[in-house]
Amino acid sequence: MKKVHYMDDEVIGSESPQGRDASLFKPSKSEINLYQRHVEDILSDSAYKPDGEKISLRNLLDISPTLSEAASAIIDDSFTRCFKSNQTEPWNWNIYLFPLWCLGVIVRYGILFPIRLVLLTLGWIIFLGLFLPVHFGIKNHEEVRKTIERGLVEFICSVFVASWTGVVRYHGPRPSRRAKQIFVANHTSMIDFIILEQMTAFAVIMQKHPGWVGLLQTTVLESLGCIWFDRTESKDRSIVAQKLKRHVECEDSNPLLIFPEGTCVNNEYTVMFKKGAFELDCTVCPIAIKYNKIFVDAFWNSKKQSFTMHLIGLMTSWAVVCDVWYLEPQTLKLGETPIEFAERVREMIANRAGIKKVPWDGYLKYYRPSIKLTEKKQQKFADALVSRLGDSVDWR
């Protein structure tokens, strides 16, 4: 039988001597508390309304508020909405537009796609042809090697972006390299990384993927100083946390890019930011990314599609249009907790990109909510009952 994973399975007892390091990516107790409070805000009390001294049969049998909450969640809930790709209205439904659309399909699949594929292949050949010798060849001049590698990565990312005819508008001052500085952005697809990378060679922290993407991750991207984690590997966490600390302290390393949502969301909503990125005692530079769905929906639903299929989908559409805003760097304010800091930055990004916020943790995609939330509701209910029973009942 498949094991069900709950959000706080490992929180209790996972406090390492360093405290916060171990729980960098798993929700910590304080995150769960914040999350609980949010959830209670949106879930109305399963109210047990006393209407007199004694408990009447009527009150006992009336479970309609609880049932309504459940039915309401089944019919529509804000978490599932974050991962829904909206079907676009078909516009090719009449006799004039349909042939036009067919022509468009022929052009996109028959002409554009092969050209783009050739372009991409050429780009890769050039890239590997230069990267591999530089990476393995230049042993003594670290500075030079790193500069060339950065330039090459920016090049191959530009090739990728060109291969889907990416029309990207960048707003705001370009990121600079400084120590004690990290960048955070909202996350819609892996292509977020490529789009940002073509401007600046970031080092990124990402989930390790299988297949050819994973291979790329461990070879090319490692040279940029990228850090990998495995969501399912719990021991990994403290190692990753330490790597992060070392990276931001080093002046030379590439600017670090983190996607604090922890998962891809459909670019209409943002889920809660994980506080890990905001506890590193660094300046946080927010980046907002908004895709224009006019030609294609750039949301990558990793449960529905492999990355390859996603890329092919992009390469057979007319263009990928998006806006990137580099926002003003923020630091932790006096008296502000990391969670509040994360929320403040999320608010900035959501406002700039024009997307809505929901109080859910992105990891609920993979885990069930903590049982403690149900227990909280049960406790409220029980307390209301007990206060009504008082001394009117013989317990013995």
The distance of closest approach from Cβ of residue 272 to another protein in the complex, given in angstroms and rounded to an integer, is 12
Least distance to another protein, CB of residue 231, Å? 17
Q: Is 9 in the site for another protein (CB under 8 A)?
A: no
65 binds another protein (CB under 8 A): yes
Distance CA 343, CA 264 (A): 18
* 382 binds another protein per the rule CB under 8 A: yes
Considering only CA atoms, which of 395, 392, 394 is closest in space to residue 52? 392
Lay out the site mask for another protein across 320-359 (x = CB under 8 A, - = otherwise). Answer: ----------------------------------------
Spatial neighbors of 147 by CB under 8 A, at least 6 apart, are none
Q: Which is nearer to another protein, 78 or 283 (CB)?
A: 78
Q: Please, what is the minimum distance in Å from the beta carbon of residue 258 to another protein? A: 24
- Which residues are CB-contacts of 55 (< 8 A; sequence separation ≥ 6)? 385, 388, 389
Comparison of 79 and 170: residue with beta carbon closer to another protein: 79
Q: Label residue 90 exposed, middle or buried (CB < 10 Å: 0-12, 13-18, 19+).
A: exposed
**Nearer to another protein among residue 19 and residue 52 (C-beta):** 52
**Whole-angstrom distance, CA of residue 186 vs CA of residue 288:** 6
Are 248 and 180 in contact by the 8 Å Cβ rule? The answer is yes
Instruction: Return the closest-CA partner of residue 200 out of 149, 250, 248, 254.
Output: 254
Shortest spacing between CB 7 and another protein, in angstroms: 9
Is 45 one of the binding residues for another protein (CB under 8 A)? no
5 binds another protein (CB under 8 A): no
Phi, psi at 345, each rounded to 5°: -65, -40
Q: Is 46 helix (H, G, I), strand (E, B) or coil?
A: coil
Number of residues that bind another protein (CB under 8 A): 56
- The answer to whether 58 contacts another protein (rule: CB under 8 A) is yes
Q: Alpha-carbon distance 286 to 301, whole Å?
A: 24
Q: Does 80 bind another protein (CB under 8 A)?
A: yes
Q: Looking only at residues 280 through 319 of this chain, which bind another protein when binding is defined by CB under 8 A?
A: 303-304
Smallest gap from Cβ 184 to another protein, in A, equals 24
> Per CB under 8 A, which region of 167-175, 273-281, 317-325, 360-368 contacts another protein?
360-368
Closer residue to another protein in complex, CB, 54/180: 54
Residue 392 binds to another protein (criterion: CB under 8 A): yes
Nearest residue (CB) to another protein, 136 versus 395:
395
Comparing CB distances to another protein, the nearer of 13 and 390 is: 390
387 is a contact residue toward another protein (CB under 8 A) = no
Query: Do strands 269-272 and 203-207 pair parallel, antiparallel, or not at all (unpaired)?
Result: unpaired
Please check whether residue 134 is in contact with residue 148, taking contact to mean a CB–CB distance below 8 angstroms.
yes
Q: Report, in Å, the least distance between residue 324 CB and another protein.
A: 29
Around 230, how many Cα atoms within 13 Å sit in the side-chain half-sphere? 9
Q: Which of 174, 218, 229, 215 is nearest to 197 (CA)?
A: 174
- For 284, the enclosing helix (H) or strand (E) is strand 283-292
Interacting residues with another protein between 212 and 251 (CB under 8 A): none
Q: Are strands 181-185 and 256-258 parallel, antiparallel or unpaired?
A: parallel
- Residue 332 CB, shortest distance to another protein, in Å, is 29
Q: Which residues contact 88 (CB under 8 A, 6 or more apart)?
A: 293, 297
- Enumerate binding residues for another protein (CB under 8 A): 2, 39, 42-43, 46, 54-80, 84, 303-304, 360, 364-365, 368-369, 373-375, 377-379, 381-383, 385-386, 389, 392-395
